[in-house]
Structure 1
Amino acid sequence: MTPPTTILLPTTTHSPVIEEIATQLDPSDELLIICDDESDPVADYGEGVQNVQVVVAGEPTGCSGKANALATGMDKATHDRIVWTDDDFHHPSDWLAAFHEAYDEKGPVSELYFFVGSDVLSTLLEPIYAIGGTLGTYANNKPWGGAVMFERDDLDWESFLRNLQRTVSDDQLLSEYLDTTTLKRIRQVEIGGTIRETLERHVRFTQIIHQHNPRDTIVMGLITSLLALFCLLSPVYAGVCVTLLAAGLYAYFGIYRWTALLSYPAIILQVPLMIYALSRNTFVWGGRRYRWRSKFKVEIIT
């Protein structure tokens, strides 16, 4: 028998994911839909719906909107077992039950993402996100904030909540507090929209690594530069090698997309994109512009 569980879903819209999760709840579970403001479209959802409640987080101060929403939800949670999830991927009918089964066997667990591009730039960068994101997260057992299950006693709850409310990246901070097992269970997440949005997202991804693990930024930059140099000096051999590497990685995670063929130009493009991302001092996420001065010093500009 699974324990009562609180599921935290930050969203401002009437996402179909709400219904996908609500139908999986046990009578003792609760789904907290966390929005920013009472004017958000989803703010009136849950009136009279059993086990579903809308929580208004308010405007963030000194942290990202996502971090603020999750901190508010964790403060409101009434159960010890907690699930974080997002509204941008499909939750199959056995999603929550499979999560409980995995937790009971392994302790804190996280699923895995694969970013699917929806504009020219995000599509081109799919192999980069697969190698650096999907593979890196899986190999290092990092939690993904889009699908992670843990309990209160699994981390220093109070300290984590304090720090969550003064930073940007919810899951990167969680990885510093929580030892997880990352399951080889892929959720495809569509990203992009416009080239501008993809650039802003790439800046955020790069800044997350830079602010939390500055040494990793150096290592990542060195490896990326060497790979790009290899591609430029030996285009035929390098093109075959990196394409086969990407195709093998895709197949390992059960992803069969033609974008593995883009690994060669993506690796070359990653060098100027990384320089661009590190040179930027602001980025836009969820309609807000942030200046992230250090890990726990976040300024919201608009």
Structure 2
Amino acid sequence: MSDQAEKLRNRLLSNIPIKEAKTLAVVSGKGGVGKSNFSLNFSISLAKQGNRVLLFDLDIGMGNIEILMGKHSALSIADFFAGKALLEEVVFQGPQGVEYISGGTGLSQLIRMDKESIAHFTTSLHDILRKYDYLILDMGAGLNEETLAILLSVNEIFVITTTEPTSLMDAYATMKYIHLADSSLPFYLVVNRAGSVKEGQETLSRIENVLGKFLGRIPVKLGIILEDKIVQEAVKRQIPFVLLNDRSQAAKGMVQIIEKYINKESYNAEKRDNRSFTARLKQFLFER
């Protein structure tokens, strides 16, 4: 096992380019804003467009992606970090062809993702990412040195907020923290549970103005998902809302977000170099 890990590590450290999935990290700053629900339904919507998607619940020990889709996996990412399973053994089939890695729920002992474990994760992830078009990372609450390493390695950051002042403040604080570490990372903003389109647009504009004034950033205002009782019904029934009712306000909002995201090159999005997720993470871990 150690020989195999060393070979993988050496391959990572080489400069041989290998096409990998585009990697998106979904953050919120504040819990309870619907981040995981967005990650799941966004992943399904991408898959419905013919994309190969891997959804990774990184809220280790407290994950709820499985619960939201009504699945139960025999293994989670915690088993990988504990050395009980290979990474490909913790990948399971979800709805609409989405594949996922569970964060695990109700674990008696939470797994700390230190530098060594992330390095092992990186080498293992390197090969399987060639299977996918997108890797969606549903990040856990809070930021530390290890999670920052992951965030600084992705292609894009999706920031989910509501219209509540505390949610907006936490979302801004999260973006400021990431910006100070790497000002080139693009931010994509989504307002969830907006009372109206007008309220959602005003919230997007408010965040945009604050980012421009204090950080000199121009985010991509990706879209709005309206408050919709079908979302609560979907959570209760453990069926993603884009599958439960594709004519609901929430599902229509997700369609608009997907359309804008796929056609984002026509927008003034911030540019970032095209290195892969594992190449960036490798540099962060091994060269800094």
Q: TM-score, normalized by length of structure 2?
A: 0.30
More strand by share: 1
Give the number of the structure whose alpha-carbon radius of gyration is greater: 1
Report which structure shows greater RCO (CA 8 Å, sep ≥6).
2
